[in-house]
Structure 1
Amino acid sequence: MTTETTLKLMATIAVVWSLVCAPVLAADVGFEEVKISNGAEPPLTAGIWYPTAAPATPHALGNVTQTVAPDAPIMGDRLPLVVLSHGGGNWYGGHYDTALALAHAGFVAAAISHAGDTFDDQSRVMQLWRRPAQLHRLVDYMFQEWRGQDRLDAARVGAFGFSNGGFTVLVAAGGVPDLSKIAPFCELHADHDLCEALQHAGVDLRSAANVPVDAWVHDPRIKAVVIAAPSFGFTFGRAGLSGVRIPVQLWSAEQDRHQPHPDYDEPVRDDLPRTPGYRVVANAGHYDFLPPCDARLLRMRPEICKSLPGFDRAAFHEQFNADVVQSFKAMLR
């Protein structure tokens, strides 16, 4: 076979591969809320966004409105899946705009409410090992029980996480943290918002440190991750991140005053065995990775809703969501 013939054959294969594996572009987005059995514990709650040809209309989702087609038929086959893990004290709808963007681009996006670390239940906020196990259960559900399980591509699974969700996704990707580092860290950095919040919640950080290594649940089905402002980044170290061998995109807020530099994002960036894609968002604060707030939430939680002067959170999220979509497309080819 000549070199020219070989090149033509390779080009043809590449085109066919791109046509087979490229996500469909959805005219609209379907949505459903599901309950997922979780052993002896109460069921977990999750939201699922997916491509559909059914017409979408505005529907309430917590305090916001999203344009979706509830329980509509699923459009497409071999759809890539991205599971989402929210930050502390949030819920599955916390990154609804990112989930919508993924679904419009032909992904299925599934987000879990982490029981024990949601806006209405902070009873197990420092039992951080529960979060990766819950995310693993979500992936199980999507491939074994969800009505659209036969529409998914098991070879293309990604995960997105913010703050505590970023920590969760790092563990799911193979990371092993050492929680015994948290108590001495917070003794030295009691002024960090994260440490103040834990102290205010009455969390016994030293008792939370006794976690066996096998408590951390990894999920080899996850092939790529996007994380934003991961919490407790200092607990991993080079050894703790040595098992994270998949592509990682890491986002950092330049003016993160909740988890100030250089103890959260930077240790993850520096200690991953594979150099991550690293993006620093100028003038952004920690909570700017959350969608823009409505007037009611702004009144209730100004600390997570207000951005620094000159930062346009709405404009940022349009670009952020587009970048997240493109990153997953590239990493899950």
Structure 2
Amino acid sequence: MSLSRRLPLATLILACCLGSAMAQSSPTQNPPHLEVGCQHLVTPEGIELGIWYPSAGTPTSQALGPYAQECVINGPVRDENHALIVISHGTGGSWTSHLDTAAALARAGYVVAALTEPGDNWHDTAHASDLVGRTRAMSAALTYMLSAWPLSAHLDQNRIGAFGFSAGGLTALLAVGARPDLTRVAPWCALHAASFTCTLLHKRTLPTDARLPSVQDTRFKAMVIAAPALGFTMTRASLAPVTLPVQLWQAMNDAILPSPGSVEPVRDNLPSPPEFHAVSGAGHFDFLAPCRAGYEAMAICQSLPGFDRAAFHAVFNKALTGFYDRTLLNSPKSGLGMPSR
């Protein structure tokens, strides 16, 4: 569902990641311990993935729509038994939406796979309200990484984490067992008809008189969510199945998912209190990767005056890494190999 600022669709599409063309420029050098391997592929099931992992080789600068990164394209995977993080983006986004967070996790020893959600991405939002479809795609991406990715032997199949932002935060919640109470949508939208969420839902079909079918994927062992969508549908009963460790982030100046009623129900109704972070001065889009120069006019690239997105992401990425270290890395390994993350 989503959740970007209420914008004309053409502006939103243009703003959100501009696809997968990877324009390469001059190579750059990083210390070996900072080298990040990267891949961009489409699975046999048609799911577009960006993949990041610890690697060796010469990084290359890449421009990806409003974002940029440096990585070793198709480089080898260093070491074994890596924990895996699967990322689900918000409505209108793509596999590039959180590439700086993915790279930071890869530098720390994780393998990261970010999918472009079918039917809810920068060039196609026809199925933006298909919550079950989104979640099944996230699980399909995980299945590909564990069983069909050519480098899957480097993964520890028992150490799997999820990260989701906005609609992706809702997707991650569904993937770990949440069952939203959709009867709350109509009353909420009667009071908040002009909100981005309700404007989006008004144009699409969403069942509001029954619970969604369970799409829980028990392979996930820990979850980070930022600004999750449809928080007001999450009751204690809705979240009762969510028993894994959760790190939860809220932007305190979020105009897309404003307080109260968005993040607070998730925070307050989880069976165990999450590790909660409230970010003063942050807007909804500040959880997206910092944009490169020349894209300042795009809505997803804008922050409130005085808020430094790049500085925030240094803190944000470190906190995510620490959380996964404390949760995933303390779980039993599923295979043999060199000690790794």
* TM-score computed with the length of structure 1 as normaliser: 0.85
Matches within 5 A, 1:60-75: 60-75=63-78
Structure 1 residue 132: Cα displacement:
1.0
> 1:312 aligns to what?
308
Q: Which runs of 5+ in 2 are unaligned?
A: 1-31, 331-341
Encode CA deviations 1:145-167: one digit per residue, 9 max, x unaligned: 00111111112110111000110
Output the CA distance in 1 between the equivalents of 2:279 and 2:88: 21
Output the CA distance in 1 between the equivalents of 2:62 and 2:41: 16
- SS at 2:259 equivalent: coil
> 1:236 aligns to what?
234
> 2:24 aligns to what?
none
Structure 1 residue 77: Cα displacement:
0.3
Structure 1 residue 295: Cα displacement:
4.3
Encode CA deviations 1:296-326: one digit per residue, 9 max, x unaligned: 4333x33x22211211111111111111111
Shift of the 329–104 alpha-carbon distance from structure 1 to 2, 3 Å rule, reads: same
Aligned letter for 1:37?
P
> 1:151 aligns to what?
154
Encode CA deviations 1:13-49: one digit per residue, 9 max, x unaligned: xxxxxxxxxxxx94301111121233xxxx1101100
Question: Comparing both chains, which one has the higher relative contact order based on Cα–Cα distances under 8 Å and sequence gaps of 6 or more?
Answer: 2
> 1:13 aligns to what?
none
Q: Which runs of 5+ in 1 are unaligned?
A: 1-24
Moved more, 25-34 or 103-112: 25-34
Aligned residues with identical type, % of pairs:
43
CA contact (8 A) 1:26 1:103 kept: no
1:191 alignment partner, one of 190, 194, 213: 194
Shift of the 129–223 alpha-carbon distance from structure 1 to 2, 3 Å rule, reads: same
> 2:244 aligns to what?
246
Shift of the 32–186 alpha-carbon distance from structure 1 to 2, 3 Å rule, reads: same
Output the CA distance in 2 between the equivalents of 1:63 and 1:305: 8
Q: CA RMSD in A?
A: 1.6
Higher helix share: 1
Aligned letter for 1:320?
F
* TM-score computed with the length of structure 2 as normaliser: 0.84
Q: Which runs of 4+ in 1 moved over 4 A?
A: none
CA contact (8 A) 1:192 1:260 kept: no
> 2:317 aligns to what?
321
Question: How many residues are treated as equivalent by the alignment?
Answer: 298
Encode CA deviations 1:54-112: one digit per residue, 9 max, x unaligned: 22121233332210011111111000100001011100110000000000000000001
Aligned letter for 2:268?
D
CA contact (8 A) 1:193 1:257 kept: no
CA contact (8 A) 2:35 2:71 kept: yes
1:113 alignment partner, one of 91, 113, 116: 116
